[in-house]
Structures are given as structure tokens and as C-alpha cells.
Amino acid sequence: MKKIAFLIVVLTLVSLGELCSQNTKTRSVTLNAGAGNLMRQDLSFSPFVHKDWSPINASATYAVSGKLNHRFHVSFGLYDPINGESFNYTSFYAEGEQSIYPHSFAVVDLNYSLSKTLVDKEKMNLALGGRFRNRLNPSAYNFSGYGLFGYYFTQGVDVWLNVQYDLTNKHHFEGNVYLPVGSWNSRSPYMSMDDEHFENFSSHKGLKVFASYIQDGELQSWGKAQAVDLDLAYFYRLSEKFDIGMAYKLSMNFNQDPQRYSSVENVFFISGKFKF
């Protein structure tokens, strides 16, 4: 695990050095805010498919285009699904009636992408490359007065296809598709309880516990971990420096170990792009 972490750091530093040294054409920052829908089933905790709409979704992308195309992307979403209707219950540990809490699912992405332009025409641009993916999905499953912490953390390398098309000087479309080559996946044990899990959080130190969870993962190919990410965006050019638009994200993740995990997320954004 230490060798993998060291390799990641080296590759990141090399990429940053190349980024700073290249003769860049354009730089941009894109900010997105919107609402999304999440459907998730994790048989390690529950047989139910948990669904929720949430207005808490945001992302930011810093892009540099030149000899190579670089993108640094961060996104966050928070969902609070609950099965059935909320209800009150009595507890031995508290006075009066207590209300059930919904579950809580966070979706965090920290990604770096690198591509090379293959087709550069007047109206269309096609680029092919890869993405270093970091996806963190911590969860809280609340069952009346009892709750369980769960996690799905994945780091990996994806193939990245980027297509850009100018309908007119004012209207711009863009699409991205990501498919995994390999992933280092870390999952909660069954019902979030085994000897190793208790040992991992026995230090009660956040970063050390997080590192222990990551270290317990395993390298998985498409057979155990399937994933597809799709991004579509439309921008209207208000000026040479600023675009507004809309975006859509589809993210699907499926994992088999230790129990079946399925997640489908759809998010709709309002976008603003600043170019400099």
C-alpha cells in the first residue's frame, strides 16, 4: 500500500510539473450546483433499495488545455433516504418519545484527468486519455436508536473520452465518458462488524482510521467492480470570459465483495464557466 501511495504522489508531481511548463492555450474554472437522485442498495447492511432526491450537490473543475489537457475535479453530494414514513419510538436511554433519523449517504469525488487531443476541427474536438479516480462514499445507517457506519472507497484508473462540439459561436456542447481499467476498492465488512473492523477504529484517530480502511481494500478488475460515469454539458457564451449552461451527470457503481453493492446517481446542474 505504501508503494502504491508513493507511486501516486510521484505521478501527480510529474503531471503538475508538466502542467506548469507547457504552453497552455486556455484555462477555465467551472462551477456547478444542482439537485440529484440517488438509488443505492448495500446488502452488507440492508436488503432495501434506498432512494432520495437532494438539492445538496455541487462540483468544481479546473481545466487547462494545451499540448495535453488537464482537469482537476472535486464534487460533493449528500442524501438522506428513509424507507417508509418517519415514526416515533420510546427508548430506555432517553425520556419521552424519540423520532427516527433518516440514513445519510455522502458522495465525494476528487479526480485528476489527463488527455491528448486526437481530432481538432473547426467545430469538433475529440480527446482520449485517463483519469485518476478517488471516490469516497461514507454512510450512516440509522435503525431507530441504533446506527451503523458504512463506507465504499475506491481509487483507480479510468479510460477517459472527451467530445466537444460548437453548434454555433454561442452554443457549445461537451460530453465525457469514463470506464474503469482497475480499482482499489475498500468496503465495509458484513454488518460493519468483524475483528479487523474493530481493530481499525480502535485508535479513534480520524486519519489513521481512514488509512486503515483504505489499506484493507483489494485490487479489483471489471469482474468484481463495474462502473460507468457519464457527463453531458451545454454552455451559452455570454462573453469571451464567461459561459452559463446546464449539465447532467450519471454515475453507476456496482461491487460484489463482501456483499452486492449497487449505486445509481443522476444529478442535474446549473453551470457557470470562467475562462482566463
CATH code of the domain containing 130: 2.40.128.100
Compare 46 and 61 and report the one with higher pLDDT.
61
d(CA 109, CA 41) in angstroms, rounded, equals 20
Q: What does pTM read for this prediction?
A: 0.85
H or E segment and range at residue 125: strand 124-143
Total domains in the fold of the chain: 1
Contacts of 53 by beta carbon, 8 Å cutoff, 6+ apart = 35, 36, 37
First to last CA, the chain: 39
Tell me the pLDDT band of 23, cut-offs 50, 70 and 90: low
Three cell numbers at 116? Answer: 491528448
Per DSSP, 203 falls in state T
Tell me the pLDDT band of 207, cut-offs 50, 70 and 90: confident
Per DSSP, 194 falls in state S
How crowded is the C-beta side of 197, counted as CA atoms within 13 Å? 13
Give residue-wise pLDDT tens across range 2-17. Answer: 444 444 444 554 455 4
Compare 194 and 70 and report the one with higher pLDDT.
70
Assign residue 150 a region: left if phi > 0, alpha if psi is -120 to 50, beta otherwise?
beta
d(CA 117, CA 162) in angstroms, rounded, equals 9
Give residue-wise pLDDT tens across range 234-250. Answer: 999 999 999 999 999 99
pLDDT of 162 > 60? The answer is yes
Contact (CB, 8 A) for 101 and 142: yes
For residue 53, the enclosing domain spans: 2-275
Q: Which of 107, 111, 108 is nearest to 72 (CA)?
A: 111
Task: Compute the C-alpha angle 100/105/106, nearest 5°.
Answer: 140
User: Which string of b and e fits 113-148 if b means at least 16 CB within 10 Å?
Assistant: bbbebeeeeeeebebebebbbbbbbbbebeeeeeeb
